[in-house]
Structure 1
Amino acid sequence: MRSFALIIILFLGKCVFGQIAVIKDKDGFTNVRKLPDSKSEILHKIKDSEVFSYEESESDWIKVHIPKNKYHLNCDEQDNLIGYIHKSRLNPIEKLETFKGTEFSFKYILKEFNVKDKISNFDGQWLTKINGRRIYGTDGNLPKTEITEIEVKLNGIEIDVAQVFYEDLFECDNNIVINKNNRDYIVHQWNSDGAGAYLLVWVFGNNKLKQRLILIP
């Protein structure tokens, strides 16, 4: 039953909340407009490899959700900028080149979760925050695994990923997908304990972490 529920959650998540994309524009950016009209006010400019979510549409204009915080730290849906881009500028992540090279590598170092070394609001039954932060990967249950480090290398150079970017992430594994967009690498996966599903996206380029995106069904 739990496995079936997880399949349903992930299916709905991918269909409704899991549509992520980058832009395809020779200028290196695309205008996000307030309304689905080329003369509407420009709210934002999406740059190459900036990952965002979008809503499927039959029209020429696509509604997009742009995270205001590029690392998604203590954010929720209210912290998204919502606007429109022309569908000709939309490049869904599944259409990007699948990375098969060796110059880039990404790996989680994981260990069994231990609530005793955390500052949490765990009441013996439910857990919602650790070290004052919202957590991802559970629905109130204690996580099974946590990240102790993320090893990332590009052309032999180690890219540092600070603890603040992964201490709120749980139930991760190394079953990841990597896509390449120009000179950037986009790592993404679905994680869950069976109920707390979330889509996690990392963007690396120029020997640094450029973005972290989290989507919750």
Structure 2
Amino acid sequence: MHERQVAGLPDPAFGPPPRERADAARNRSRILTVAAELFAEHGVDGVSLDVIAARAQVGKGTLYRRFGSKAGLAAALLDEQDKELQRRILFGPPPLGPGTDAATRITAFFDAYLALLDANLELVRLSETAAPGVRYQVGSYRVWQRHLAVLLAAARPGADAEVTAHLLLATLDADLHHALRRSDFGLDLIRSALRGLIQKVLEG
């Protein structure tokens, strides 16, 4: 199962994750630690699964069985950050968490996800481009879409919140942000433009 698929939130479409054996859990933790170190040192494109397996002292087959590909490994590294963002949305203080108006929470979500994306752009891009349409199949995307649809319905009663949520999430596509960065658009400019776009959508 793709690591970002359930992303820590209850979902009737999925059961609880299977319990790992202690040795499997240790191997998984070591692989993720080593992968994070190597990606930080050499960039995601500069590190092969062979190198990760060698430094983690596990067989290449073990790594492939556990993660399937480098994209699966990238998704696993992002999983905890996805879960933390979800916890902040559900239980954290406003404006990201409950306790303020829907429009403010929508802007706060985009600010928070943009920060996560900026810090992990290579990993997110790899996880989202591993296969056609994979971005829309993972559980974290469905969580973000559901969250935005609920807030949009509250902020703009009568609007088509479901499709608008998908369209707004398209602005957070990692491949798009990679292209923007290659065009020398900085994070502050991107954030400002995105806030302006969201405001126009909310104003209808």
Q: TM-score, normalised by structure 1?
A: 0.22
Q: TM-score, normalised by structure 2?
A: 0.23
**Higher fraction of helix:** 2
**Higher fraction of strand:** 1
